[in-house]
């Protein structure tokens, strides 16, 4: 079977046997497993640092040739983020209804009210943390401060800011903490780290879409990246309006619709990465 694959790949110029398997690698080639330079190593050999097959690393930048463990981590993060966003509203509604209907102590009612949003926000932050995991072949050459690390930090901060804001809102409603209008404005502005984190994650994911490659997904992501700053500006302007109706149309409607679209896009990425992840695992087993 391997001979047939080799003959086919030699004719087409593609696949794992496009060249003689014992040919040395003649150009700088980064190992997909650890980032080691494989130049001079036979294509049939393995990386001397981590044991990843050299043939696995010479196919360029496409995700189907990426490190399968890393790609699985990214996809798992996408699934966690999309699932937690899907559960955010129903879980918050159910737990909030229980807190309202059941004769429970006040502190338990507050805990139930916050439980859904807090758990889902933390899960989304964890999913974002996974989807921005460092790719092994690039990790050794990363600068101390770069785009991926900044996005990761923003995702963690967003996962903490949202529960803090919700806790302040519930405590204010319960009369445990009276918050002034100015303080509310400041707390509201801290939520801008959420669209910043989403923007960074989508920008990071767009580079992965180019490596699938999936041009329609790249285009859709680019449209969302244009719309995200617009909704953020609307969010900033809405507190300046005294009218509840203006607040509703400037903030609630566009932000809600845009978040639904954004998290639907995250789910699309999880589906789009399924095939490259499967191919990467199959190639790693050869």
Inter-residue contact 38 to 50 (CB < 8 Å)? no
Inter-residue contact 53 to 33 (CB < 8 Å)? no
| Residue range 55-79: mean pLDDT, rounded | 85
CA 33 – CA 192 distance, rounded (Å):
36
20 phi/psi in degrees, rounded to 5? -60, 130
pLDDT range class, residue 182, cuts 50, 70, 90: confident
Is the pLDDT reported for residue 12 higher than 60? no
CA 199 – CA 124 distance, rounded (Å):
14
CA 213 – CA 273 distance, rounded (Å):
10
Q: Which residue has the higher pLDDT, 279 or 12?
A: 279
pLDDT the model gives residue 217: 92
Most confident stretch, 41-50, 95-104, 211-220: 211-220
Burial of 124 (0-12, 13-18, 19+ CB in 10 A): buried
| Residue range 14-25: mean pLDDT, rounded | 60
- Give the rounded percent of residues in the chain with a pLDDT score beyond 70: 80
CB atoms within 10 A of CB 109: 18
Is the pLDDT reported for residue 1 higher than 50? no
pLDDT the model gives residue 138: 66
Q: Which residue has the higher pLDDT, 157 or 136?
A: 157
pLDDT the model gives residue 170: 75
pLDDT the model gives residue 105: 86
CB atoms within 10 A of CB 167: 16
CA 189 – CA 211 distance, rounded (Å):
35
- Give the rounded percent of residues in the chain with a pLDDT score beyond 90: 17
pLDDT range class, residue 205, cuts 50, 70, 90: very high
pLDDT range class, residue 255, cuts 50, 70, 90: low
42 phi/psi in degrees, rounded to 5? -65, 145
Strand partners, 46: 53
| Residue range 49-61: mean pLDDT, rounded | 77
- Least Cα distance to 203 among 265, 255, 156 occurs for 265
User: For 24, which DSSP code?
Assistant: B
CA angle 51, 275, 13 (to 5 degrees): 65
CA 199 – CA 266 distance, rounded (Å):
12
pLDDT tens sequence across 91-116: 888 888 888 888 888 888 888 888 88
pLDDT range class, residue 33, cuts 50, 70, 90: confident
pLDDT the model gives residue 17: 46
């Amino acid at each position: 079977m391997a001979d047939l694959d080799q003959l086919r790949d030699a004719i087409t110029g593609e696949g794992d046997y496009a060249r003689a398997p014992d040919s040395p690698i003649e150009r700088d080639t980064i190992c997909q497993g650890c980032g080691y330079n494989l130049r001079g190593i036979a294509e049939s050999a393995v990386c001397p640092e981590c044991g990843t097959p050299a043939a696995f690393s010479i196919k360029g930048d496409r995700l189907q040739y990426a490190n399968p463990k890393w790609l699985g981590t990214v996809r798992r993060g996408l699934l966690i983020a999309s699932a937690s966003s899907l559960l955010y509203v129903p879980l918050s509604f159910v737990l909030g209804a229980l807190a309202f209907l059941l004769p429970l102590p006040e502190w338990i009612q507050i805990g139930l009210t916050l439980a859904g949003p807090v758990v889902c926000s933390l899960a989304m932050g964890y999913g974002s943390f996974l989807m921005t995991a460092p790719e092994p072949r690039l990790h050794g050459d990363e600068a101390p401060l770069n785009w991926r690390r900044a996005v990761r930090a923003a995702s963690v901060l967003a996962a903490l800011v949202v529960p803090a804001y919700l806790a302040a809102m519930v405590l204010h409603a319960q009369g445990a903490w009276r918050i002034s209008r100015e303080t509310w404005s400041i707390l509201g502005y801290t939520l801008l780290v959420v669209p910043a984190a989403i923007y960074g994650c989508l920008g990071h994911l767009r580079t992965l879409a180019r490596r699938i490659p999936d041009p329609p997904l790249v285009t859709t992501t680019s449209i969302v990246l244009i719309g995200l700053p617009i909704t953020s500006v609307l969010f900033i302007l809405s507190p300046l309006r005294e009218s509840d109706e203006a607040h509703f149309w400037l903030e609630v409607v566009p932000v809600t619709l845009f978040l639904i679209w954004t998290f639907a896009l995250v789910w699309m990425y999880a589906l789009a990465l399924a095939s490259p992840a499967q191919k990467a695992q199959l190639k790693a087993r050869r």
